[in-house]
Amino acid sequence: MSWRSKQGTDLLKSHDWLVQRSQTVLLHGARLIDPSTGLDKTADVLIDRGKITKIGKINRDELKGYVELDLRDKILTPGFQDMHAHFGQPGHEDRETLTTGICAAAAGGYTGVSITPDTDPYIDNAGIVKWIQDQTSGSPVNVVPVASVARDDEGRRLTEVDDIFHMGVRVFSDTGRPAATPEIMRRALEYMKLHNLTISSRAQETSLAAGGVVREGPVSTRLGQKPWPSIAESMAVAKSLLLALHTGSKLHLEAVSSVESLDLIRWARERGVKVTCDTTPHHIALTDEATETFDGNFKTSPPLGSKRDKDALIAAIMDGTIDAVAADHVPLTDEECLVEYSLVPDGVVGLETAVGVLAKVLGKGKPDWNKLITLLAIRPREILELPPATIATGSTADLTIIDPEAVWTVDPARFFTKGHNTAFGGWQLPVKSLGIINRGWTLIAPDARMLVK
């Protein structure tokens, strides 16, 4: 079923969200922050048929048939865009469907999500790309399929890039299907360069990482769990960077988690390599010590690092080495999580908590908003080569509403996502998304309905 079946709106309304498709929307008194244009001021915003038509003081007497939102003391930002989320469907609907994933994204303030190719069947042909595009057409969240680099599980045959490229796909990923050899990865990079495309890589040397459960170090030794050495990531990063240097192709590195990887990225950039990277909220908020509880909610890919790694990631965010933060949303079924720690699949959900976790970790509840919005909204679109979301007269209304003073407790039972496997259950977070405006939709959370006049 497509979003137009009302399945999604019914799910939102069942959680008491306000769902409207009004022609004219007046946003009153918000603090507007858009790092891409240097905008930071308090003003009204008028939206008519999905476009921002005026910014400034707006006379209500001139308006007819409009919906007003009182956003005084709230922040209005360009809509968030996630870099890589696992939505499951097709093939893994027990973990997540396109509908539940879209609703989870909207609840977290995301107006756009790039979904990973590890579905069943894989996103490795134009047909499956079109099916996803059709299923999500008209939804309040732009769903962007990322295609697989390889078309077989052995990673020895490249995807039909031309056909998929003509469906609008601009990023190809090795998630779940890494290239079998450096030679195949080299050919993939060279082929992507012909179309100026990007390979997004979850760098991992499988021979070193195979069977690893906890990041190698004192914690893995104490727990007696098979270690996952950080060199499993940094060696694969080095190999990919050298290939990108040789080919001149664009490379994006996902979920970077170690000091050594960051050093290699800096080295490569000094030599002109076209490399970007992201990390995740859980890697900057937690360390491998969290795994000492043997709670599967802390089993991630790559595994949580040391305090040294965590501190280095935060520093790399602040100095610009890390371009974006991705929720790295991986929902699992309850049954998959009810096994011993070493058997729990890797991954945690993150779309509904990302902005709150980042605000807590990066600014102790008072973040640098330009930095945070750049990480969540501006740089992801630039890397993914998507149209920018800007707060400007004449631009499409693609917006996220933030309460910078909200204090709320993470309760996975209230998530839209099917997955309850959060690393932040019970955490008190200082910032919350109150809703999104995108594609003519206005979605407002239950605790913000009083803002609607």
The answer to whether residues 332 and 398 belong to one domain is no
**Residue at 419 is within a domain:** yes
Active site residue 48: no
CATH number at residue 426: 2.30.40.10
- Which of 453, 392, 404 is closest to 28 using CA atoms? 453
pLDDT of residue 426: 97
> Which of 384, 404, 434 is a domain's end point?
384
* H/E element, 27: strand 24-34
The answer to whether residues 218 and 186 belong to one domain is yes
Distance of alpha carbon 102 from alpha carbon 114, whole angstroms: 11
Distance of alpha carbon 133 from alpha carbon 106, whole angstroms: 18
pLDDT of residue 4: 57
pLDDT of residue 409: 97
**Residue at 87 is within a domain:** yes
Number of domains forming the structure of the chain:
2
Sequence-separated (6 or more) residues with CB below 8 Å from residue 127:
none
Distance of alpha carbon 198 from alpha carbon 182, whole angstroms: 17
CA atoms within 13 A on the CB side of 136: 27
**Residue at 230 is within a domain:** yes
Strand 274-279 versus strand 250-253 pairing type? parallel
Q: What is the DSSP string of 178-203?
A: --SSHHHHHHHHHHHHHTT-EEEE--
Angle at 129 between CA 126 and CA 131, to 5 degrees: 110
Q: Which two tokens stand for residue 415?
A: 């998530």
**Residue at 100 is within a domain:** yes
Low-confidence ranges of the chain (pLDDT < 50): 1
pLDDT of residue 46: 97
Which pTM was predicted?
0.96
**Residue at 389 is within a domain:** no
The answer to whether residues 369 and 415 belong to one domain is no
Cis previous bond, 121, omega within 30: yes
CATH number at residue 111: 3.20.20.140
Distance of alpha carbon 169 from alpha carbon 161, whole angstroms: 9
Radius of gyration in angstroms for the set of CA atoms belonging to the chain, rounded to a whole number: 21
pLDDT of residue 3: 59
Chain-centre distance for alpha carbon 328: 6
Domain span at residue 334? 79-384
The answer to whether residues 291 and 334 belong to one domain is yes
Helix, strand and coil in the chain, % to nearest 5: 35, 25, 40
Contact 243, 184 (CB under 8 A): no
Query: How far from 18 is each of 11, 91, 247, CA to CA, in Å?
Result: 11, 31, 50
Distance of alpha carbon 159 from alpha carbon 191, whole angstroms: 10
pLDDT of residue 23: 84
> Which of 384, 408, 430 is a domain's end point?
384
pLDDT in tens, 344-359: 999 999 999 999 999 9
The answer to whether residues 164 and 239 belong to one domain is yes
**Residue at 50 is within a domain:** yes
pLDDT of residue 61: 83
The answer to whether residues 314 and 359 belong to one domain is yes
Distance of alpha carbon 135 from alpha carbon 26, whole angstroms: 30
Chain-centre distance for alpha carbon 22: 28
**Residue at 65 is within a domain:** yes
pLDDT of residue 365: 74
- Which of 190, 169, 165 is closest to 179 using CA atoms? 190
**Residue at 294 is within a domain:** yes
The answer to whether residues 229 and 158 belong to one domain is yes
pLDDT of residue 1: 40
- Which of 277, 243, 271 is closest to 258 using CA atoms? 277
pLDDT of residue 21: 86
Sequence-separated (6 or more) residues with CB below 8 Å from residue 35:
370, 371, 373, 374, 378
The answer to whether residues 362 and 422 belong to one domain is no
The answer to whether residues 128 and 247 belong to one domain is yes
The answer to whether residues 152 and 36 belong to one domain is no
The answer to whether residues 27 and 83 belong to one domain is no
Distance of alpha carbon 327 from alpha carbon 353, whole angstroms: 8
> Which of 364, 384, 404 is a domain's end point?
384
The answer to whether residues 88 and 14 belong to one domain is no
Contact 418, 331 (CB under 8 A): yes
Catalytic residue (one of 174, 328, 398, 403): 328
